Amino acid sequence: MNRKIEDYIRKTFTNNKAVVANPTCYIYDLQEITDRINEIDKYKLPNVSLYYAMKANPNKEVLKHVLKHKEVSGIEIASIGELNIARQIGLDDMSKVLFTGPGKTPQELEEAVKSKIRYINVESVVEAIRINDIAKRLNIPKVDILLRVNINYFLDGASEYMAGMSTKMGIDQSRFKEDYSYIKKLSHLNICGFHVFAADGVLDYNILLKYADFVFKFVKEAETVVGKVKVIDFGGGFGIDYTKAGMKFNTKDYFIKLGEILKKYSFEDKEIILELGKYIVGSAGYYATKIVDIKDCKGMKHIVTAGGVNHMRLPIATDRKHPVYIVKMNEDKLYNEQIEVKNETVDIEGPLCMTEDKISWDEYIENANIGDIVVLTQSGAYCYSASTLWFLSHELPLELIIK
């Protein structure tokens, strides 16, 4: 964690009245988001479009900032709630919106059709029929869709899998021809391409390239049935490193090699969509929470913080720790024998009445005292909004922006 962020956290926990009263917050560094977008833009191929998967972080300031970049073509939403947030921050060009996700309700589909968003990513025959019926009723001649397919390929080496095994996402590749025989009869649908998001958190770009090769083979074959398509949407998946080693996804080599594979299939004229979430905002976020107590119990110490999995559920949910830093605040001791942590391995736990309420565990800490701040880096994606925020009815953590 750099000095600028450490100083900001120290100042915030000293001077920001709301944080002093409720000592736990998220901090998002907008420059880091810009750097990540620029990194992609520097190397991406001309036929690649970058979208932001807003489920990663729907904070309005973050979203506004992402959309300020002309290099970002738009957003991928997973609900009409997300579309409403985007509208609230002023996004009115619906051709910048893609809608993905299993279990879209008929009402959500109707709103998407009426809004004339760019593509609805259709996940099943049922969804296709519903969209077709809505379009017919509203006298809309054609709705542009991508068909989401659960490709018969397991991307070994990701942190979470959406496809390549039995999941609720998309149409099973093994059933594709059968399902397509229904979908092709739906005259209000315009099939523009495929959506093939399969896995998240991939740090080794070679894994994504092998998958791309397999997908292109599928698309070549599918085109003999469906006809030529314009778009292949790979969803997200570029990973970030959750260790202090700080490994980076190699965007440069990824795009160079993707270009070679596109050439092999003569697919250079197809639009390749990336809907990135974690890569764009993950490393821009910090979760900071004050140490309210330190316990020594049956041979092990426990750091107890103001916020727990109610604010920061991702580490325990994925069984993957985030890098931990301690910002020293040098508060006076309450009594002489007050316990501190010195060069030992501890668990870091929140205030909830359950033992699984850990934001880190088996963590080696050089020194920590009551009053110091625990900081978890890499906390910009799937952290705040994916937490059990109202469990035990604690105050919500503040979300602060470094511009």
Ligand X SMILES: Cc1ncc(COP(=O)(O)O)c(C=O)c1O
Decide whether 112 or 327 has the Cβ nearer to ligand X.
112
Long-range contacts, stretch 69-73, CB < 8 angstroms, 24+ apart? 69/34, 69/37, 69/41, 71/37, 71/38, 71/40, 71/41, 72/37, 73/49, 73/273
If you write DSSP's letter for every residue of 108-154 in order, what string do you get? HHHHHHHHT-SEEEE-SHHHHHHHHHHHHHTT-S-EEEEEEEE-S--
Q: Output the residue with the shortest Cβ distance to ligand X.
A: 236
Measured from the Cβ of residue 228, the count of other Cβ atoms closer than 10 Å reads 9
Q: What is the DSSP letter of 331?
A: P
Nearest distance, CB of residue 396 and ligand X, angstroms:
23
* CB contact at 8 A, 402 and 373: no
Residues 6+ apart with CB under 8 A from 69: 34, 37, 41
Decide whether 140 or 386 has the Cβ nearer to ligand X.
386
Decide whether 13 or 194 has the Cβ nearer to ligand X.
194
Measured from the Cβ of residue 177, the count of other Cβ atoms closer than 10 Å reads 12
Closest CA to 27 of 384, 394, 280: 384
Nearest distance, CB of residue 216 and ligand X, angstroms:
19
Residues forming a β-bridge with 190: 144
Residues 6+ apart with CB under 8 A from 64: 89, 90
307 touching ligand X, by CB under 6 A: no
Decide whether 218 or 238 has the Cβ nearer to ligand X.
238
Decide whether 146 or 324 has the Cβ nearer to ligand X.
146
* CB contact at 8 A, 229 and 194: yes
∠ CA 168-183-55, rounded to 5°? 40
Distance from C-alpha of 385 to C-alpha of 276, rounded to nearest angstrom: 17
Decide whether 119 or 218 has the Cβ nearer to ligand X.
119
Residues forming a β-bridge with 49: 273
Nearest distance, CB of residue 207 and ligand X, angstroms:
13
What six digits make up the tokens of 373?
A: 């701040």
Closest CA to 156 of 147, 164, 148: 164
Q: Which of residues 36-95 bind ligand X (CB under 6 A)?
A: 53, 55-56, 76
Q: Which of 170, 193, 235, 380 binds ligand X (CB under 6 A)?
A: 235
Q: Is 92 exposed, middle or buried (0-12, 13-18, 19+ CB in 10 A)?
A: exposed
Which range of residues in 23-31, 259-267, 276-284, 296-304 is near ligand X by CB under 6 A? 276-284
123 touching ligand X, by CB under 6 A: no
Which range of residues in 22-30, 231-239, 332-340, 348-356 is near ligand X by CB under 6 A? 231-239
What six digits make up the tokens of 401?
A: 């922006």
Q: Which of 100, 150, 377, 378 binds ligand X (CB under 6 A)?
A: 100
Nearest distance, CB of residue 137 and ligand X, angstroms:
27
254 touching ligand X, by CB under 6 A: no
Q: Which of 237, 315, 323, 350 binds ligand X (CB under 6 A)?
A: 237
Q: Which of 200, 347, 349, 363 binds ligand X (CB under 6 A)?
A: 200
Nearest distance, CB of residue 223 and ligand X, angstroms:
22
Nearest distance, CB of residue 76 and ligand X, angstroms:
5
99 touching ligand X, by CB under 6 A: no
211 touching ligand X, by CB under 6 A: no
Q: Which of 277, 285, 315, 380 binds ligand X (CB under 6 A)?
A: 277
Q: Which of residues 169-198 bind ligand X (CB under 6 A)?
A: 197
Nearest distance, CB of residue 237 and ligand X, angstroms:
5
Q: Which of 40, 109, 222, 276 binds ligand X (CB under 6 A)?
A: 276
Nearest distance, CB of residue 282 and ligand X, angstroms:
7
279 touching ligand X, by CB under 6 A: yes
Nearest distance, CB of residue 209 and ligand X, angstroms:
16
> Using CB under 6 A as the criterion, which residues of the chain lie in contact with ligand X when the complex forms?
53, 55-56, 76, 100, 197, 200, 235-238, 275-279, 381
